[in-house]
Amino acid sequence: MIALRNVSKTYRVGDIAVHALRGVSLEIKAGEFIAIMGPSGSGKSTLLHILGFLDQPDEGEYFLNGQGVKNLSDDDLANIRNQFAGFVFQQFHLLRRMSAQNNVSLPCIYGGDQGDMAGQALRCLGAVGLQDRARHWPSELSGGQQQRVAIARALVRNPMIIFADEPTGNLDSTSEREIMRILKSLNDQGKTIIMVTHELEIAEYAGRVITMRDGRIISDQSKASCLSEISVGGAATSVGRPVRSFWKKEEWIGHFRQAANAIFSNKIRSLLSMLGILVGVAAVIAMLALGAGAQSSMEEQLKSMGSNLLSIHGGASRRHGASSASGAVTRFSPDDVKAMLALTSHVKRASGVVSGSAQVVYRDENCNTRVQGVGYEYGQMRAVIPENGRWFLEQEFQSREKVAIIGMTVVEKLFKGVNPMGKIVKINRLNFRIVGVAPSKGFAGPNDQDDVVYIPATTAMFRVLGKDYLDNIYVEVADTGLIEEAKEKIEALIKKRHKLYQGEDSFYIRDMSEIQDMLSSTTKTMSLLLGCIAAISLVVGGIGIMNIMLVSVTERTREIGLRKAVGARKVDIMMQFLIESMVMTFTGGLMGIAVGAGAALLLSSLAGWATQLSAFPIVLATSFSIVVGIVFGLWPAQKAAGLKPVEALRYE
Per DSSP bridges, beta strands 430-437 and 388-389 are antiparallel
Of residues 357, 285, 126, the one with CA closest to residue 621: 285
Query: Tens digits of per-residue pLDDT, 45-94?
Result: 899 999 998 888 889 999 998 888 878 888 888 888 888 899 998 888 88
Please tell me the distance from the alpha carbon of residue 85 to that of residue 155, in angstroms, as a whole number: 9
Above 70 in pLDDT, residue 384?
A: yes
Please tell me the distance from the alpha carbon of residue 8 to that of residue 56, in angstroms, as a whole number: 9
The pLDDT score that the predictor gives to residue 237 is 45
By mean pLDDT, which of 165-174, 183-192, 519-528, 573-582 is the weakest? Answer: 519-528
The mean per-residue pLDDT over the stretch 512-527 comes to: 68
The pLDDT score that the predictor gives to residue 411 is 94
Of residues 374, 47, 66, 91, the one with CA closest to residue 236: 66
CATH 3.40.50.300 positions along the chain are 2-244
Of residues 55, 110, 114, 88, the one with CA closest to residue 258: 110
The pLDDT score that the predictor gives to residue 444 is 67
Q: How confident is the model at residue 452 (pLDDT cuts 50, 70, 90)?
A: very high
Of residues 493, 587, 641, 502, the one with CA closest to residue 276: 587
Query: Tens digits of per-residue pLDDT, 622-650?
Result: 777 778 777 878 888 888 888 888 888 87
Asked whether 217 and 210 are in contact (CB, 8 A), the reply is yes
Q: How confident is the model at residue 32 (pLDDT cuts 50, 70, 90)?
A: very high
Please tell me the distance from the alpha carbon of residue 455 to that of residue 97, in angstroms, as a whole number: 79
The mean per-residue pLDDT over the stretch 472-479 comes to: 90
Of residues 121, 174, 192, 180, the one with CA closest to residue 152: 121
Q: How confident is the model at residue 278 (pLDDT cuts 50, 70, 90)?
A: confident
Residues in the chain: 652
Mean pLDDT of the chain: 83
The pLDDT score that the predictor gives to residue 630 is 79
**Considering the chain, what percentage of its residues have pLDDT values greater than 90?**
29
Those residues with Cβ within 8 angstroms of residue 228's Cβ, 6 or more apart along the chain or in another chain:
none
Residue type, 136: H
Those residues with Cβ within 8 angstroms of residue 386's Cβ, 6 or more apart along the chain or in another chain:
405, 435, 436, 437, 438, 439
Above 60 in pLDDT, residue 170?
A: yes
The pLDDT score that the predictor gives to residue 589 is 82
Asked whether 154 and 105 are in contact (CB, 8 A), the reply is no
223: number of Cβ within 10 Å: 12
The mean per-residue pLDDT over the stretch 174-182 comes to: 88
Give me the residues paired with residue 164 across strands.
88, 195
Asked whether 497 and 334 are in contact (CB, 8 A), the reply is no
Query: Counting Cβ atoms within 10 Å, is residue 218 exposed (0-12), middle (13-18) or buried (19+)?
Result: exposed
Those residues with Cβ within 8 angstroms of residue 589's Cβ, 6 or more apart along the chain or in another chain:
277, 278, 281, 621, 622, 625, 626
Above 60 in pLDDT, residue 243?
A: no
CA 369-372-373 angle, to 5 degrees, is 145
Tell me which of 613 and 121 has the higher pLDDT.
Answer: 121
The pLDDT score that the predictor gives to residue 306 is 57
The pLDDT score that the predictor gives to residue 319 is 47
Above 80 in pLDDT, residue 489?
A: yes
Cα within 13 Å of Cα(354), Cβ side: 25
Those residues with Cβ within 8 angstroms of residue 619's Cβ, 6 or more apart along the chain or in another chain:
none
Q: How confident is the model at residue 235 (pLDDT cuts 50, 70, 90)?
A: very low
68: number of Cβ within 10 Å: 13
Task: Report CA-CA distances (Å) from 156 to 84, 250, 414.
Answer: 11, 16, 88
Please tell me the distance from the alpha carbon of residue 316 to that of residue 220, in angstroms, as a whole number: 111
Above 70 in pLDDT, residue 106?
A: yes
Query: Tens digits of per-residue pLDDT, 301-352?
Result: 655 555 678 889 887 655 444 444 456 788 999 999 999 999 888 899 999 9
Above 90 in pLDDT, residue 416?
A: no
The pLDDT score that the predictor gives to residue 513 is 64
Query: Counting Cβ atoms within 10 Å, is residue 524 exposed (0-12), middle (13-18) or buried (19+)?
Result: middle
The mean per-residue pLDDT over the stretch 533-549 comes to: 75
Tell me which of 546 and 143 has the higher pLDDT.
Answer: 143
Which CATH number does the domain 2-244 belong to among 3.40.50.300, 3.90.1150.10, 3.40.50.720, 1.10.3290.10?
A: 3.40.50.300
The pLDDT score that the predictor gives to residue 115 is 67
The pLDDT score that the predictor gives to residue 55 is 87
Task: Classify residue 65 as left (phi > 0), alpha (psi -120 to 50) or beta.
Answer: left
The pLDDT score that the predictor gives to residue 175 is 86
Task: Report CA-CA distances (Å) from 173 to 19, 140, 179, 180, 390.
Answer: 34, 20, 10, 11, 102
The helix/strand/coil state of 482 is helix
